[in-house]
Amino acid sequence: MTLPVIIRGFFVLLFTFLDISLCEKTNITVGYLTVHNTDTFVRNRQGRIISGAITLAIEKVNADDKLLPDYHLNVIWGDTQADTLVGTRIVTEQWSQGAVAFFGLEDSCSVEARVAAAWNLPMISYKCADYDVSDKEKYPTFARTYPPVKLVTKSIISLLLHYNWRKFTLIVGTSHKQQTISENLEEQCKLLNLTINAKKEFKEPHVPLTTGNPFPGIVESTYVHTRIYVFLGGLNGVVDLMTNLYDRGLLDTGEYIVIFVDHSTYDPTDQLKYFKRFSLVRISPRYLKDGSEPTYYIVPSLTKFKSKSGGKN
């Protein structure tokens, strides 16, 4: 199912949610909130990729008399700049301009979703993992197509318990999403008596050769007392972590495992992305084979990933 078809379906569903009379109103305005420009790091910025789809979906809905024969859709958009205050201001501005529903918000969305709930207006987010908005008593009008933090941590916990790995080191990037997942994971570990040997943070975005490499120091201070690493961050970071483990010869023992969560949709045409970083520095072919084997990848489409990778990871 293509993205425009999915978005078009969302528009149709909105009218089962909104209390609007078909006879009284022919023009409907929806707000679209995304991240275009920002001074902070936003991993996998989706707004620049999918924004054209919402325009196409609206054009198709307006052109099809069978879908909403008495309606004409308008969209107004705003750049939240990955800032909660800016996002909240845009939500209120779009509401004052007549928006009756909202699409979007990346990463943080709990404050904006609360504002939408106050006016009983639906908000559908395509990329927000905040845990708070899962509470339907506080956020009754919020829905999302992106897995919440709870589901991400559930996948990690399930893997740990399956192999009876009850102690691990947590490595976390400084972005909002990774910090939110980390907080929820730590809470779940306390409930299940899982031990976090150490928690180490690194600055995101991690750009090799320009931001410095914190992973030699992280590995040096943790490898003696841990065998399992849970990594919450980007591809550049996990590749540099694995490279350092490999260079130390730790991966040759078969005693170390890295669990990495990838939030982006698995692309079968780019299977090697998990074994390389975004850099001009060439990685040894032997690392691609030997250094990547002790890594578990948690991806949105595990079945397809397993079949495409030959079930080796």
Q: What is the mean pLDDT of residues 81-87?
A: 88
In percent, how much of the chain has pLDDT > 70?
73
Segment of 7-11, 111-115, 220-224 carrying the highest mean pLDDT: 220-224
Round to whole Å and give the CA distance between 136 and 268: 35
Round to whole Å and give the CA distance between 133 and 289: 41
Q: Which two tokens stand for residue 127?
A: 């990329």
* pLDDT on residue 309: 44
> What is the secondary structure of 194-211 as a DSSP string?
-EEEEEEEE-SS--TTTS
* pLDDT on residue 36: 80
Q: Which two tokens stand for residue 278?
A: 């975004």
* pLDDT on residue 306: 46
Under 8 Å CB-to-CB from 200, ≥6 apart: which residues? 169, 170, 171, 172, 214, 218, 221, 222
Q: What is the mean pLDDT of residues 32-37?
A: 86
* pLDDT on residue 257: 92
In percent, how much of the chain has pLDDT > 90?
41
Under 8 Å CB-to-CB from 218, ≥6 apart: which residues? 171, 200, 202, 241
- Decide if pLDDT at 277 tops 90: no
* φ, ψ of residue 12 in degrees (nearest 5): -65, -40
Closest by CA to 216, choosing from 184, 157, 171, 154, is 171
Rg of the chain, C-alpha, whole Å: 22
Query: Domains of the chain by range and CATH?
Result: 3-146 (3.40.50.2300), 150-309 (3.40.50.2300)
> 152 pLDDT band (50/70/90 cuts)?
confident
* pLDDT on residue 231: 96
* pLDDT on residue 192: 96
* pLDDT on residue 25: 45
* pLDDT on residue 258: 93
- Decide if pLDDT at 283 tops 50: no
* pLDDT on residue 167: 97
- Decide if pLDDT at 179 tops 80: yes
| Torsion from C-alpha of 115, 121, 127, 131, nearest 10 degrees | 60
Q: Which of 28-37, 238-247, 273-282 has the lowest mean pLDDT?
A: 273-282
Round to whole Å and give the CA distance between 212 and 231: 18
Q: What is the mean pLDDT of residues 216-222?
A: 97
Higher pLDDT, 29 or 25: 29
Q: What is the mean pLDDT of residues 39-51?
A: 66
Q: What is the mean pLDDT of residues 208-216?
A: 84
- Decide if pLDDT at 133 tops 90: no
* pLDDT on residue 189: 96
Closest by CA to 153, choosing from 192, 195, 190, 184, is 184
> 90 pLDDT band (50/70/90 cuts)?
very high
- Decide if pLDDT at 195 tops 70: yes
Q: Which two tokens stand for residue 14?
A: 């909105």
- For residue 229, how many other CB atoms are within 10 A of its CB? 27
| 76 beta partners | 31
Round to whole Å and give the CA distance between 264 and 69: 36
* pLDDT on residue 180: 87
Under 8 Å CB-to-CB from 199, ≥6 apart: which residues? 169, 170, 171, 172, 182, 186
- Decide if pLDDT at 245 tops 80: yes
- Decide if pLDDT at 16 tops 60: no
Do 186 and 161 meet the contact criterion of CB atoms below 8 Å apart? Answer: no
